[in-house]
Structure 1
Amino acid sequence: MRMLVLAAIGLLALPALAADPLPRGTPESLGFSPERLGRIRTTLEADIARGQLPGAVVAIARRGRLAYYEAFGHLDGARTRPMPIDAIFPIASMTKPLTGVAMLTLLEEGRLSIGDPITRFFPQLGNRQVAVDGNPERLVPATRPITLIDLARHTSGITYGARGTTALHRLYPPSSSGAAREFDAAGLITKLASLPLLYQPGSTWDYSLSIDVLGLVVEQVTEQRLGEVLEARVFRPLGMVDTGFLVPEASRARYATPLPTDPATRQPQQVEMGLVQPRFDCGGGCAVSTAHDYLRFAQMLLAGGRLGEARILSRSSVAEMTRDHMHAGIANNLTGTEGNMVNWGFGLTVAVRREGGSALLGNPGMFSWNGAYGTAMFVDPHEDLAVVFMAATPGLLRQYYRRVINALVYQALDD
């Protein structure tokens, strides 16, 4: 009977179910081939059966409606519990765009500018030195101060300790989550103030603790923790009920975990982000979320800063966030972090596709960022498309699934 009803309504949109992130539409009404969308299930279920990943949740929106929303496999790495559609995932660096939006809400209130020097907020980060070739014994003065735009687009000269092998890398905290385990907010600023930069500010894209510092700028301006700012300005207005920096005890049964052994390297793996309160709300990588919540966030950006009655940002702010801010004078090392992002630049906390070919399907102007533990998001304004993929794959397989989900979504477009 259900299939008959669906056939009868044809191209009409379906009402949202209680747990849906957006109102539903039939795949056909949204320009998808149902048969080709079915390849997502075929592919993921085959990989789950082979033991490549425990499970996943995929959410696809087009033209403001939900075209696809499915859960696959298992919630836990032991593969004993079915994956619920509302599974909670550690989203790691997909925290970064959340922090970018928080910063832009303050820009819209006139409380900061992306051109502001970091010394306006943290004077101790002034008078920087730069390590020549990553050697902290060979220092030259920074030619200019770090600015907020440097933080937002990873051109500050700050780095991640785990993303290089120089003597200077060994002095830096390894990651956002590693920094949040070791330092409180003041302690991180003190640590960074004691270290030289890897590059001259504004000269080189280098993945880094920059967004964590940007989150601390948000805290400095608002006199609140970043999680409180995001809850009031983003999560609550958008109905992102399962997004934050700590999974409540009542929700921990929905926390997704990876396979105990990485299928590619055969090394043990474990993720506990979100199960222990970080010492500070690290804006670069400590949040948890669901496919439901993050699709609503992505759709808000796709719709120019609004979702339903909630206006989070102006269209102009979203346009600035998702514009390529990498001019010709900046060395672009993006593919060293995201190997699939050939011919992409970077905006304010998101990567932005440029004109020309790439290793990923899509269109110029699409924007994206992903998480180290297997989560991914991309938005294509040309196609009016937003996609969220949630999986617990913290190894190198995460790069494989970013390519696969990208291909499976675009091959299903049929209009």
Structure 2
Amino acid sequence: MTGRGLSIPAPFPPWGFRSRLRDCRVSRGEAAQRGLRRWTVRPGNGCRIPRIHSDVAFWFSGDASMQGNGRTWRWLWVVLALAGLLGVGGGEAIPRTAAGQELAKARPEDVGMSSQRLERLDAFLRRAVAEGRTAGAVTMVARRGKVVFSQAVGMMDREANRPMSLDAIFRICSMTKPVTSVAVMMLYEEGRLMLDDPVAKYIPEFGNAKVLAESSGTATENSPTVPAKRPITVRHLLNHTSGLTYQWNERLGPLYHKAGITHGLIQDEGTLAEKMKKLAALPLLHQPGEKYEYGLSIDVLGYLVEVVSGKTLDEFFRQRIFEPLGMNDTTFFPPKEKLDRLAAVYERSGPGTLRRMGDEPVVQGSFVYTADYPQRGPKRYFSGGGGLCSTVPDYMRFCLMLAGGGRYGNARLLSRKTVEVMTINQLGDLSVNGNQKFGLGFLVLADRARTNLNWSAGSFGWGGFYNTTFLIDPKEQLIVVSMTQLRPGHDCPISEFVPVLAAQAIAD
């Protein structure tokens, strides 16, 4: 890296800098070359700025009388020059980073919470493990930007006798969706797409959408269809009103399965581009914009991110979201050296009895899934709707960014106004499960009288297939992230009770 530089294209602003930045690499402790001459940057000139490297110090001088070794106040001028020049070139901005920044902690009482009441949450988690309702869990609570509760209970892998730890890695499945939604809105803020753009503008295969006729039962290749009344838009995908569904749907699931459409929870030989183009050829369940139907919409958005950004989804996530936020353990496929931290998935075999979920696929009609997808197969299908693995501390960073109006530490991913748009009702008169709303990537708590939660109206969050969950209350500045690994359909108290026990600890 020390032999290459970052070229900053012309033009430069006419006022420029009255000195020349030179591609001058100086080892630590050595004096820089003399004789750099005064120079004015004008339009048409090029400038080459060396890339940062841990073993190289950069030196800046305005005339022959100035010299240094990279440790003087002249660093300030290099930083200012970099900041100014990087804003001129028109290329992708390099985000500031929160990487390496520790999660801020506080005593509960310092942020208006009760330590004594938080003990109820700790006791509940331990009781859930003791009663065999889950093998283990990690939970973290933050208020006003500071973590006040973090606890790992039970076992990460009972068969290997590995206790649960705060850095345990979980299959977060549909908690991938908010990450993909943030990626889409980052591109929106860069002027690269609009919410009401037809998806076909970026993925032409969606330009001739058909809708399964209401008279049709289970769909086949020959089932009658009707033309879509309107194009599927980016907004339709973000709020799940596109007409796409999941493989468990009785009418379209068999057709999805036959076409080889995947959801990310099973190994697959294809790529996101291949599968989404196949999906585009299948009928929709309903007219775009007319009903809420949870499904593969966010997977399509994952492919849209690839098309618009020119990066694979895993590259975009890593470079634009995970590295800036310091989410070092979040990835689609954990590397081999981290697999011993991947929590095992369990299922209930009887009252108070758990058994480890096997590696063989679980078949529920047209819906087929496994627990071993993060460590098997070609590892090239990046599901924007369900493929990520993460840790509770990593996802707390993501939540703190959202709660901070798009910023965490020095890393700003979104503007406050964009986060506001993402977390308001985007369904109009439609609803989720008859009583709540959906924003652009999140469930939004709209009616407190029709939920078990003691959280404010406007709280938002989502969960994952293997019983992971997060919730953010902007009014109370409260965040909870909790993860376990329990096969769906088996009563798990974590997702429902943990937010309640976190909110009841508010004491101001």
**TM-score between both structures, scaled by the size of structure 1:** 0.88
Report the alpha carbon displacement of residue 175 of structure 1 after superposing the two structures with TM: 5.5
Compared CA separation, residues 352 and 178, structure 1 to 2 (3 A): same
Secondary structure at the counterpart of residue 389 of structure 1? strand
Cα offset for 1:192?
1.0
2:115 aligns with 34
Q: 1:291: which partner in 2?
A: 392
What is the CA distance between 1:278 and its match in structure 2? 3.6
CA shift at 1:66, angstroms? Answer: 0.8
The equivalent of 1:50 in structure 2 is 131
Q: Give the structure 2 partner of residue 12 of structure 1.
A: none
Runs of 4 or more, structure 1, over 4 Å off, are: 18-21, 260-268
1:228 aligns with 2:329: no
* 1:353 counterpart (429, 438, 445): 445
Quote the residue 2:281 is aligned against: 194
1:25-64 Cα distance to aligned partner (Å, 9 max, x none): 1011122221211112211212212221111111111001
* Total equivalences in the alignment: 387
Relative to structure 2, which stretch is displaced further, 351-360 or 96-105? Answer: 351-360
Aligned to 2:18: none
Output the CA distance in 1 between the equivalents of 2:101 and 2:116: 22
Q: What does 1:173-252 correspond to in 2, within 5 Å?
A: 173=257, 176-178=263-265, 181=268, 183-252=270-339
Residues in 1 aligned to 2:132 and 2:115: alpha-carbon distance in whole angstroms: 26
Q: Separation in 1 of the partners of 2:152 and 2:100? A: 13
| Secondary structure of the structure 2 residue equivalent to 1:161 | coil
**1:147 maps onto 2:233 in alignment:** yes
Q: Deviations over 1:137-181 (max 9, x none)?
A: 12111101100111111110011011x222x22112476215762
Counterpart of 1:269 (choices 357, 360, 364) is 357
Cα distance change, pair 205–112 in 1 and its aligned pair in 2 (3 A): same
Q: Does 1:381 align with 2:493?
A: no
1:67-146, aligned counterparts within 5 Å?
67-78=148-159, 80-133=161-214, 135=217, 136=219, 137-146=223-232
- Aligned AA (1:274): P
Equivalent pair of 2:135/2:158 in contact (CA under 8 Å): yes
The structure richer in helix per residue is 1
Query: How far apart are residue 122 of structure 1 and its match?
Result: 1.2
Q: Does 2:466 match 1:366?
A: no
Superimposed CA distance per residue, residues 248-296 of structure 1 (whole angstroms, 9 cap, x where no aligned partner):
1111111111225455698873422422354321100000000000001
CA shift, 1:20, in A, is: 8.7
- The separation in 1 between residues aligned to 2:465 and 2:172, in whole angstroms, is 8
Task: Give yes or no for contact 2:426–2:439 (8 Å, CA) kept in 1.
Answer: yes
- Displacement after TM superposition at 1:343 (Å): 2.8
Whole-Å separation in 2 of the counterparts to 1:375 and 1:279 = 24
Structure 1 77/371 Cα, relative in aligned 2: closer, same or farther at 3 Å?
A: farther
Q: Measure, in 2, the Cα distance between the counterparts of 1:282 and 1:180.
A: 11
Asked whether the 8 Å contact 2:205–2:281 carries over to 1, the reply is no
Aligned amino acid, residue 182 of structure 2: V
Aligned-partner Cα distance in 2 for 1:138–1:187? 25
SS class of match (1:240): coil
Q: Distance in 1 between matches of 2:386 and 2:501?
A: 27
> In the superposition, relative to structure 1, how do residues 179 and 140 fare at CA in structure 2: closer, same or farther (>3 Å)?
farther
Structure 2: distance between partners of 1:389 and 1:382: 20
SS at match of 1:66: strand
2:242 maps to a residue whose letter is S
1:170 equivalent among 238, 254, 271: 254
Q: Which moved more, 1:77-86 or 1:49-58?
A: 77-86
Given that residues 157 and 206 in structure 1 are in contact (C-alpha distance below 8 angstroms), is that contact kept between their aligned partners in structure 2?
Answer: yes
Report the Cα distance in structure 2 between the residues aligned to 1:27 and 1:154, rounded to whole angstroms: 37
SS at match of 1:245: coil
The one-letter code sitting in structure 2 at the alignment partner of 1:59 is M
Which residue number in structure 2 is paired with residue 339 of structure 1?
none
**Matches of 2:400 and 2:318, distance apart in 1:** 18
Secondary structure of the 1:383 match is: coil
- 1:22 equivalenced with 2:103 (yes/no): yes
CA offset digits 1:298-352 (Å, max 9, x no partner): 0110010011111111111111111110112x3x3x22xxxxxx63200111111
Q: Which runs of 5+ in 2 are unaligned?
A: 1-98, 359-370
Highest RCO, 1 vs 2 (Cα 8 Å, sep ≥ 6): 1
Question: 1:132 touches 1:140 (CA, 8 Å); kept in 2?
Answer: yes
Cα distance in 1 for partners of 2:101, 2:494 equals 24
How many Å separate the matches in 2 of 1:90 and 1:182? Answer: 20
Cα distance in 2 for residues equivalent to 1:315 and 1:57: 29
The one-letter amino acid paired with 2:234 is L
Give the AA of the match of 2:144: R
Larger displacement relative to structure 2 (389-398 or 119-128): 389-398
**Equivalent residue letter for 2:407:** R
Q: Secondary structure at the match of 2:346?
A: coil
Please give the alpha-carbon distance, in whole angstroms, between the structure 1 residues aligned to 2:159 and 2:389.
21
**C-alpha distance in 1, partners of 2:373/2:420?**
31
Which residue, 315, 320, 329 being the options, matches 2:416? 315
SS of equivalent residue, structure 2 residue 482: strand
Q: Does 1:344 align with 2:439?
A: no
Checking the alignment, whether the CA contact within 8 Å between 2:486 and 2:492 is kept in structure 1 is: no
